[in-house]
Amino acid sequence: MTEPAVQVVTDTKPTAKEQSHVSFPSALQWILSVVVIAAFVMTFIVQAFVIPSESMEDTLLIGDYLLVDKIDYANGGVWSPLLPYTKINRGDIVVFHYPVHPQQHFVKRVIGVPGDRVHLSNKQVFVNGKAVIEPYTTYRSIQPNFYRDDFPNTHYIDGNVDSHWWIQMRKLIEDGNLIVPEDYYFVLGDNRDESLDSRYWGFVPRENIVGRPLLIYWSVKRDSSETDESSTPDAKLIRLVNGFKRVFQDARWNRTLKIVR
């Protein structure tokens, strides 16, 4: 009778050739890993935005570069028990898809949440009958605007008001207050006199809200007088060189890594 074959496992060290298969990732693999991780982070966790207008001054300035948290206000679904999703509250700053042109992103402050009764009287905001203390607001216009300053107002209209919103708004006024519908938010800019916001185009749907600004990671002063639109190669090169110079010359270092509130 023959003995069954037995496989003997020896505790020997791997040869040099075998050892070569257990190594650190190559530079290309590291780069690909970083790209994949960065793509995941920028797709699901944070996103970068730049402020193009003065509507949120002095909280956010033109040329502020923001990192926006896309997780905090996300609709949790099956992940709700695991991730700390936050309810959107009055006073929160939010980034959202502009309801009129959803491909654009806007940033404003939430003033009214679903069910709230909102009105402005001589620029003072009232929510559910109580005056709101707003230390973050800026008022720069000395010219009265009865639609803007005493809202909602059906006796006056502003040329910037969206026609669809004008019709809808009139159906949502009760005792001089605008009623915020379920799953919608009323938002205003901190630069109250120079902001096209919910007074002009309506509510922000819940599904339009992208996230909340976390911090200003970079800030650069912008000179509106630079209007050279020449497309010649020389002009493009000059603008590129000037752009690199301005990165440091016009940087607002005191705003770098500033938490947004």
| In contact, 61 and 107? CB cutoff 8 Å | no
Based on the residue annotation, tell me whether 55 is a catalytic residue of this protein.
Answer: yes
What percentage of the chain reaches a pLDDT higher than 90?
A: 58
Based on the residue annotation, tell me whether 171 is a catalytic residue of this protein.
Answer: no
Cα–Cα distance, 258 to 246 (Å, whole number): 20
Q: Which is the catalytic residue, given 17, 20, 80, 108?
A: 108
Is pLDDT of 203 > 70? yes
* Residue environment code for 225-251, b if the CB has 16+ CB neighbours within 10 A, otherwise e: eeeeeeeeeeeeeeeeeeeeeeeeeee
What is the spatial order of strands in the sheet that 130-131 belongs to?
130-131, 124-127, 117-121, 177-179, 173-174
Q: What is the mean pLDDT of the chain?
A: 81
Q: Which CATH class is domain 27-239+249-259?
A: mainly beta
Q: Which is the catalytic residue, given 17, 20, 55, 87?
A: 55
User: Average pLDDT for residues 16-44, to the nearest whole number?
Assistant: 52
201, containing H or E segment: helix 198-201
* E strand spans, 74-195: 93-97, 105-112, 117-121, 124-127, 130-131, 173-174, 177-179, 184-188
Cα–Cα distance, 212 to 156 (Å, whole number): 33
Is pLDDT of 226 > 90? no
Question: Higher-confidence residue: 49 or 242?
Answer: 49
Is the pTM higher than 0.85?
A: no
| In contact, 111 and 127? CB cutoff 8 Å | yes
The tally of CA atoms less than 13 A away on the side-chain side of residue 32 is 5
Q: What would the two tokens of residue 85 be?
A: 């999703």
Question: Higher-confidence residue: 218 or 198?
Answer: 198
User: pLDDT at position 239, please?
Assistant: 56
